[in-house]
Amino acid sequence: MHSSSDAVKPELFGNDKRKIKLDFIYTAKNIIIEEDHIKIETNINSFYLMIYKNGIVRFTTYNKEIDLESSYSIETLEPVYQYKLINDDNISKVVYNHLIIEIQHTPFHISIFKNGKLKYQQKAVAFCDTQSYLFIERSSEAFIYGLGEKTGFLNKNNEKTVMWNSDVFEPHTQSNKELYQSINMFSYIINDQKYGLFLDNPSRVTFDFETNDHESVIISDIGKLDYYIYTGDTLKEIIIQNADLTGRSYLPPLWALGYHQSRHSYESVEELLEIYHNFKQRKIPVDAIYLDILYMDHYKVFTFNEKTYNGVESVLKELKEDGVEIVPIVDPGVKVEEGYSVYDEGVKQNLFCKYPGGKLFTGHVWPGESAFYDFTNERIRKIWGENHKVYTDLGIEGIWNDMNEPSVFYSEGNTMDLSVLHQISDSQVKSHREMHNIYGLGMSMATYEGLQTLTNKRPFVLTRAGYAGIQKYATVWTGDNRSSWEHLEMSMPMCLNLGLSGVSLCGIDVGGFMDNATEELLIRWTQMGVFLPFFRNHCSIGMRRQEPWTFSKRGEKITRKFIRLRYELIRFLYSEVYKSHKDGVPMMKPLVLKYEDDPKTYSIHDQFIIGDNVMVAPIVRPGETARKVYLPTGIWFNFFTNEKYKGNQFIIADATLDQIPVFVKAESIIPLTDWCMNTEKLSNKIKINVYSNGNDFKDSFVIDDGRSLTGKYKQVEVNYHNKEVEVKETGSYEVNFEYEINIIK
């Protein structure tokens, strides 16, 4: 119990034996309704409570004055006013629909009940200098999901992790607590007790689900304590509430779902052409080829190297005409060099981050000494967006944002100096220490908005760094992984927890970035990649090449077969992207998200569901040709052989090197097309696989032109009734499609 104002919690800091003196809120007084919120005065400060229409409860404290305005992440939600406040001796109750928020005055506790059942129990709130501490009841038996991009397995309970966007070059292992993304959101499940929490604070935040046996401690370094409790009844409802608050995934162009090829770096237009011709000649589909940092003139963003990339315009034109997109990398560091227009304009128009006192902040990245745009400011974001005209004039519609933690070489903490100031608006300035985790989000926001304005099409943005809400502007990839079997396996829980934190569109470097892939590893990774929301093969300079043809003929044959499969599935995949963009549920799901009533699914990290009914169980060990697969309740079909299985059992699935175990649940459909060289060449003939267990059912998919902003869609409804199939189209997308029905039973 934390009832004294000067408790000491040294055990929170592991081996660090410093005594930290915490000032606890130990009593609440004067609990009153004020406009759209309830004000709780405490012995330290005021605590504000708001309830939103969809059952999200917000608490925020501020030492000086109330600040309930929106942040960089959150969407405008409608607060409710129809609650009752009942003040009693030591307890005040706020009653709204099925929710009761109980505030115990002394010692200060908050409990949230729904339909009479306890959901959330807050034990204490404390402060120490600029830091805030939130103590919440926790069982070590509970399951905790989310927390964005983290190493390790699916369940994050009994672990401690830190949110601080970092460029982590060393191999990502469970001891790397900080990675490129920071998403302060998790879902908590123990039996029927479920809630979600999002802490809106972009400074360094520690989530400690480890140190103290019965409590979680969430420590934010600086800035306001501002958090939201999701009171949904299921994991899915919690995830949707998070999407209501922090936004749904952007809708990328269809080509973003195709196969993408990258390497650091294709060093010249000749090499770029050679890669493209290899795909063409070998009949391996590809939708995008990436230009890593060597395309630039001395790593200067918004330039091309005039020697090695001379003639880039005509090459890009040729590729574009053939349906292949080019995605150049753009880093935030602008080379300090007089005469370089991006730098000169930055200085002239006051676009760069500065130290207090006005001195320009510079740090060393690829171009050498560089200055950094201040993406927290709307005016500056707009100018950054406009810079992309250099690319869009060449027909480029997708941009890759890297190094945007921001990464700064040879500096303390490998990032921007924490005292640097961000000029959020004319009246608001905050330190980098307070705003750090926002930097990448701001960069992607600026890039996305710039591309959309310049092209008037759906942009594609790929980012390494981000914060809650990044899904509105970019696809996320998990940074510099390794060509190792461990990293192949970890790709799944990493992407799954990103999805459970709001980021539906994510992927990893297929084949691994650092170290040398083997043919077997590349094959197994490519097989998994086919089913990931984002499918890009990328590899570091100096490492063994890993384009699909760079191993033996056998390797080429198998990877080609699977890349083609991506295109056979692409209508289905894009429809799932669209659904996720609409409903806020990730397209790549852990089993627990679909089968929450089945505890056997809670810890499964090495299988996933794509869409609603396609179960993927990749092989993640060398030499293995079979693996254990859990099939939850229902009837399942092997996607490749149509063999039928009863669910609610573990099976052993065979998968020689040219196979991956994939199962489809009965009472669902998959729209398939013939493979093609890229999405521009996609056929309008769709074969609909109808997986039946004899019962009547309905399923649907969505088609559109995959590129424009018109919002014209065709919804294709498939009705399986009395063993007959009826296909009905609705919506305003006017292109004709031919359907062939294939019933599997």
Query: Which residue numbers are catalytic?
Result: 402, 405, 480
Both tokens assigned to 163: 């949110």
Which is closer to ligand GLC, CB of 507 or CB of 611? 507
CB 713 to ligand GLC: min, Å: 34
Q: Could you say which residues in the range 582-641 bind ligand GLC, by CB under 6 A?
A: none
Assess 449 for contact with ligand GLC (CB under 6 A). no
Assess 329 for contact with ligand GLC (CB under 6 A). yes
Which is closer to ligand GLC, CB of 199 or CB of 301? 301
Chain mean position to CA 307: 37
Which is closer to ligand GLC, CB of 253 or CB of 367? 367
Distance, CA of 329 to CA of 166 (rounded, Å):
18
Which is closer to ligand GLC, CB of 187 or CB of 265? 265
CB 250 to ligand GLC: min, Å: 21
Q: Tell me how far CA of residue 263 lies from CA of 266, 381, 409, 506, 579, in angstroms.
A: 6, 28, 22, 18, 31
DSSP state letters, 32-55: EEETTEEEEEESSSEEEEEEBTTS
First-to-last C-alpha distance (Å) of the chain: 59
Assess 163 for contact with ligand GLC (CB under 6 A). no
Q: Could you say which residues in the range 366-385 bind ligand GLC, by CB under 6 A?
A: none
Q: Give the residue among 260, 243, 167, 245 at the shortest CA–CA distance from 503.
A: 243
Q: Which of 208, 292, 449, 667 binds ligand GLC (CB under 6 A)?
A: 292
Which is closer to ligand GLC, CB of 293 or CB of 629? 293
Secondary-structure breakdown of the chain: helix, strand, coil percentages, each rounded to the nearest 5? 20, 35, 45
3-state helix/strand/coil string of 674-720: CCCCCHHHCCCEEEEEEECCCCCEEEEEEECCCCECCCCCEEEEEEE
Which is closer to ligand GLC, CB of 148 or CB of 479? 479
CB 346 to ligand GLC: min, Å: 21
Q: Tell me how far CA of residue 11 lies from CA of 137, 164, 178, 217, 408, in angstroms.
A: 17, 22, 21, 12, 32
Q: Could you say which residues in the range 469-498 bind ligand GLC, by CB under 6 A?
A: 479-480
Show the beta-strand stretches assigned E in 323-417.
325-330, 333-335, 362-365, 368-372, 398-401
Question: 296 in helix, strand or coil?
Answer: coil
Assess 264 for contact with ligand GLC (CB under 6 A). yes
φ, ψ for residue 690, nearest 5 deg: -110, 115
Which is closer to ligand GLC, CB of 366 or CB of 663? 366
Q: Which of 402, 449, 489, 547 binds ligand GLC (CB under 6 A)?
A: 402
Assess 244 for contact with ligand GLC (CB under 6 A). no
Residue nearest ligand GLC, Cβ-based: 264
CB 402 to ligand GLC: min, Å: 5
Both tokens assigned to 634: 């229902």
Which is closer to ligand GLC, CB of 111 or CB of 444? 444
CB 445 within 8 A of CB 383: no
**x-or-dash string of contact with ligand GLC, 495-534, rule CB under 6 A:** ------------------x---------------------
CB 568 to ligand GLC: min, Å: 28
The amino acid present at 351, given as its one-letter code, is L
Q: Tell me how far CA of residue 724 lies from CA of 74, 672, 694, 727, 740, in angstroms.
A: 46, 19, 10, 10, 13
Residues in the chain: 745
Which is closer to ligand GLC, CB of 259 or CB of 477? 477
The footprint of ligand GLC on this chain (CB under 6 A) covers a number of residues equal to 10
CB 547 to ligand GLC: min, Å: 15
CB 616 to ligand GLC: min, Å: 25
CB 271 to ligand GLC: min, Å: 15
Angle, CA of 595, 494 and 469, to the nearest 5°: 90
Q: Which helix (H) or strand (E) holds 241?
A: helix 235-246
Assess 464 for contact with ligand GLC (CB under 6 A). yes
φ, ψ for residue 682, nearest 5 deg: -65, 135
Both tokens assigned to 2: 């934390």
CB 513 to ligand GLC: min, Å: 6
CB 383 to ligand GLC: min, Å: 23
Which is closer to ligand GLC, CB of 180 or CB of 228? 180
Q: Could you say which residues in the range 296-325 bind ligand GLC, by CB under 6 A?
A: none
**x-or-dash string of contact with ligand GLC, 189-228, rule CB under 6 A:** ----------------------------------------
Which residues have C-beta within 8 Å of that of residue 224, sequence separation ≥ 6? Answer: 60, 61, 62, 67, 132, 201
Phi/psi region, residue 339 (left: phi>0; alpha: psi -120 to 50; beta: rest), is left
Footprint on this chain of ligand GLC (rule: CB under 6 A): 264, 292-293, 329, 402, 464, 479-480, 513, 538
